[in-house]
Amino acid sequence: MVFSSAAIFCNWSAVILNGSYRGIVENRYLAVSLSLPLAALVFGLHAIINWRPWLEKLFAAAIAVFIAVCAFIPQPPSDVYQDTMNAIPFLREVMKKNHIAEGLISYWQSNLFTFLSGGSVTLRSITDDGVVNHLFNSMYWYGQGRPPGDATHFRLIIVPTDDMRAAFGPPDQVLEAPGQMTVWVYPEARSIRYDEFFGNLLLSTHFTGGDHTWLMNAAELPTRSGQVAGTSLLATAGKSGEDLLTYGPYLELRPGKYRAVYRYQYLAPPAPDRVATYDLFVHTDDEDDQSLDPAPLPCPDTGPQVFTDTFTVTRSKQTFEMRINFHGSGTLRVDSLSVTRLGP
């Protein structure tokens, strides 16, 4: 009884960890699970009944056969299984036509497609907001520990979300796979790749300076008080609220020394006591979030300006934002943010 329970528990754990539980094996494991109460009842009776030796052996064999039948009785294919099998030929053709080796999809479906396609439709797991799923995946799949040129360039996203569009921008092609699965295809020039220094999947167009500098136009950053003006963000007194003009980009930086650089311009000077301010906001796993390096964004004149913050990351599993807070005075345009790894 203990052995049977342990075997079922281990199998449940395995299918959940490898992402293949949903839609394929739940009926089979449900059948096995439902057999356990009956088995427990019978084994309980066995403990209080004085069996003859040969009858005890016969009974144990019958119970073993019963559990085996529950475990291996054929189950009808589920809808998720059928949808996956129907989508595989379509996705295989799309990937072949566009010279795509691997794609991205949610956790529950990544290994499902990879396994059922025999590796011809290899998909890796991401969360709904476009972040690498660290739960079970080998980071080597994404490129960690490999030379920058050898890292996988992802150009296919299946069942994308609005947050993924915000992170990676609009795709080149939008297709519809069987099973009502939306498919995004990106060009090689805007491929998505993992960077181990910045700890996330990022657009290749955001990297400069030999892969040690990450660069993003301000219009690509989230905002609470600004308006998009070309590739910049603009905040104007009387029109924009006193709130964050930029926040994000939620970089999971490895330990080392970094430099964040904002390029900005005051089109109309603010009141001296209401200049915009900068801070480095750190999210940690233990929820002990911190606002570090607070500083005003100087306005010596109305020409282009550069603000620099050099900081050190001392431990892993921290997510960083570089934020600018607009205080409702003057007109401020933020053009870009870059983050450079300076060294260990």
As a whole number of angstroms, the distance between CA 50 and CA 264 comes to: 87
Q: What is the pLDDT of residues 265-275, one digit of tens each?
A: 999 999 999 99
Q: Which range is least confidently modeled, 11-15, 167-171, 238-242, 247-251? A: 11-15
Percentage above 70 pLDDT, the chain? 78
Q: At 111, phi and psi to the nearest 5?
A: -70, -25
DSSP H helical segments within the chain, as ranges? 2-17, 26-48, 53-72, 79-97, 107-116, 162-168
Q: Which range is least confidently modeled, 12-21, 83-92, 100-109? A: 12-21
DSSP 132: B
Selection from 184, 188, 229 nearest residue 205 by Cα? 188
Q: Between residues 47 and 156, which one has the greater pLDDT?
A: 156
Q: Report whether 192 contacts 104 (CB < 8 A).
A: yes
Strands (E), the chain: 102-106, 122-126, 156-158, 173-177, 181-185, 192-195, 200-203, 207-208, 213-217, 227-229, 232-236, 244-246, 249-251, 256-268, 277-284, 290-296, 304-313, 318-325, 331-343
pLDDT of residue 19: 43
The predicted model scores a pTM of 0.64
The two tokens of residue 147 are: 């030379």
As a whole number of angstroms, the distance between CA 161 and CA 106 comes to: 10
Selection from 243, 265, 246 nearest residue 332 by Cα? 265
- Alpha-carbon distances of 96 from 61, 91, 99, 121, 177, rounded to whole Å: 52, 8, 5, 10, 15
pLDDT of residue 21: 42
DSSP 219: G
Q: Between residues 129 and 82, which one has the greater pLDDT?
A: 82
Q: What is the mean pLDDT of residues 99-121?
A: 88
Instruction: Grade residue 254 by pLDDT with cuts at 50, 70 and 90.
Output: confident
Mean pLDDT, the chain, rounded, equals 82
Q: What is the pLDDT of residues 171-218, one digit of tens each?
A: 999 999 998 899 999 999 889 988 777 777 888 888 765 558 888 899
